[in-house]
Copies of this chain bind each other. A is one copy, B any other.
Amino acid sequence: MTCGLEPVYRHIDENLGVHLAKIQQFLRQPSISDDGTGIHDCAELLRSYYESLGAQEASIVRTDGHPGVVAWYDAGASKTIVNYCMYDVMPVEGEQWISPPFEANVVNLEGVGRAIVARGAINSKGPYRAWLNALESIIAVNGKLPVNVLFVAEGEEELGSPNFSQVVDSVSDRLKDADAVLNCGASQDLSGNVEMFLGNKGVIDFELRASGKRWGRGPAEYSIHSSNKAIVDSPVWHLVKALSSLTSDDGNRVAVEGFYDDVAPPSEEDLELVSRLEAEFEPAMWAKKYGVSRWMNDMPKRELLENYLFSPTLNITGIGAGYTGPGCKTILPHEALAKFDMRLVRDMKSADMLPKLRKHLDARGFSDVEIRQLSGYEWSRTSHKSEVVQAVLSVYHDYGIKPLIWPTSGGSAPMYLFTREPYMLPLASAGIGHGARAHAPNEYYVVESIGKIAGLAECEKFFVDVLYRFASS
């Protein structure tokens, strides 16, 4: 749809069979970060993709966990983009699939259309390989890409990217000269609509653990017979009391002193974007999607949006103690565990938060309750006025799509490694096409256009357009 790019589009159309096969090849290579299955082979495969694209450098980056892959494609262009990739996928254990998860067959899905069914189909190997296909077609026709590209890939996204900073650090010199981050995916829903997120919340994943051993009360080493409760303290009750101290009675307002201190109020741009969202956002649809019959505090739409976008949270993701199977075991457990994620919004400093929690617990007789951080991201935000976002939006516009723009997602991602100090890169995600069932059985990525959903060829052409639009912006 961009004048002068017709030969590239034609190349895509003429090579669609090959392009589909390349996506299938990528998906047929397992890369389960949870247990490491296929991770090294997949990293090598991805490296070979960058190499055959013509990247001058393409290498595996060792980390304390699964390897990263980085590549540098120097087009001699004035602009440089950074392109993020996660090449790992979720496990499939115990799941029933209509087509084996690593066969990547094209299946006719009722109500959806023809799609590749595979683990990683939509999250994220399917669209990512489509993006590489688009780059190959550009190079095949025009000899080179219109921008320099720094590829940065990790194999631990599904684990919370614990070592991604090591991958990023390995290319810090190139990052200093980059202009923007451009991430490519497939973001249409079943109706063809697109959402764009201009940032994400920070997050701290951590555990609180009460144990008789650390407490110096209760059973120290193992669960004991519950008759002892009459004379022995319970680490489980101890943890319950510690947890209960952390929030208001409804579990929604965090009671840790100073928790909200640095929370930035929404900016003017934020409020403007929320007003636009308000016109489109339908709480009832969301409530249905998530199986929620009433929102917290029965909030009206505007408040709901502002809370979702701009409020930090303290959420219990799991609690475990003693025996929870069928029937009963007469035990007094020696320890209890709670797992949390704490979401952070703009201007909150992740380094401050667990010390505040520590202080809160210490002041209330819970100095023995152990805090263990599991992982953490900082928040990330990009202005919708940035060049890369505007370039992406203008291409969507060409395709007749008006994305719903969210100033931030409610979730978290390691994008702060690019968008915050020292690189301060603006970031945009782009892509049409559709897939779903990430982390679930029968994950898919649509390959043949149906209704308003783009097929594979159109998805690839869109990537071509975005790249040239940004190059010329």
Residue of B nearest to A316 (CB): B236
The segment from A147-155, A217-225, A395-403 that touches chain B is: A217-225
Report yes or no: B212 in contact with A291, Cβ–Cβ below 8 A: yes
CA–CA, A409 and B159, complex, Å: 49
- Give A contacts to B, CB under 8 Å: 159-160, 201, 203, 205, 212, 216-222, 224-234, 236-238, 240-241, 243-244, 247, 249-252, 290-296, 299, 304, 307-309, 311, 313-324, 327-334, 336-337, 339, 341, 343, 365, 374-375, 409-412
Q: Which of B205, B294, B319 contacts A322 (CB 8 A)?
A: B319
Contact A296 B231, beta carbon cutoff 8 Å = yes
Known: A217-B296, A318-B329, A319-B322. 11 other contacts (CB 8 A): A212-B291, A225-B410, A227-B313, A228-B290, A229-B315, A233-B252, A234-B316, A318-B323, A319-B319, A319-B321, A327-B375
The 3 closest A-B pairs by CB, nearest first: A237-B251, A227-B410, A320-B324
Q: A160 — which chain B residues lie within 8 A by C-beta?
A: 327-328
User: Are A313 and B410 closer than 8 Å at their CB atoms?
Assistant: no
| Residues of B close to A244: CB separation below 8 A | 240-241, 243-244
Contact residues of A: prevailing secondary structure: mixed
CB neighbours of A323 from chain B (8 A) = 317-318, 339
Q: Give Cα distance in the complex from A330 to B158, angstroms.
A: 10
In the complex, the chain B residue whose C-beta lies closest to that of A220 is B291
Q: How far is the CA of A296 from the CA of B229 in the complex (A)?
A: 9
Residues of B within 8 A of A333 (CB): 316-318
In the complex, the chain B residue whose C-beta lies closest to that of A247 is B237
**A313 CB contacts on chain B under 8 angstroms:** 226-227, 229-230
- Once the chains bind, are A290 and B219 in contact (CB under 8 Å)? yes
Can you list 18 A-B contacts with CB-CB less than 8 angstroms, sorted by A residue number?
A216-B294, A217-B294, A226-B315, A226-B341, A227-B343, A229-B313, A232-B290, A232-B296, A237-B247, A237-B251, A238-B251, A317-B333, A318-B333, A319-B322, A319-B336, A322-B339, A327-B375, A328-B375
Which of B203, B217, B228, B341 contacts A410 (CB under 8 A)?
Answer: B228
Q: What's the least CB distance linking A415 to chain B, in Å?
A: 15
Chain B residue, CB-CB nearest to A239 = B319
A300 → B minimal CB distance (Å): 11
A317 partner, pick from B231, B322, B337, B375, beta carbons under 8 A: B322
Least CB distance, A457 to chain B, in whole angstroms: 32
Q: Given the known inter-chain contacts A216-B294, A341-B226, please indicate yes or no for A299 contacting B330, CB distance below 8 A.
A: no
Q: B330 near A317 (CB under 8 angstroms)? A: yes
Most chain B CB atoms below 10 A, which of A203, A252, A317: A317
Min distance, Cβ A309 to any Cβ of chain B, angstroms:
8
- The listed residue (B159, B318, B374) touching A321 by CB distance below 8 A is B318
The CA-CA distance from A365 to B331 in the complex, in Å, is 29
Chain B positions within 8 Å of A290 at CB level: 219, 224, 228, 232
From the candidates B229, B307, B365, name the one contacting A343 in the complex (CB within 8 A): B229
B227, B232, B307: the one within 8 Å of A295 (CB): B232
Beyond A227-B343, A317-B226, A319-B324, is A411–B330 a contact (Cβ under 8 Å)?
A: yes
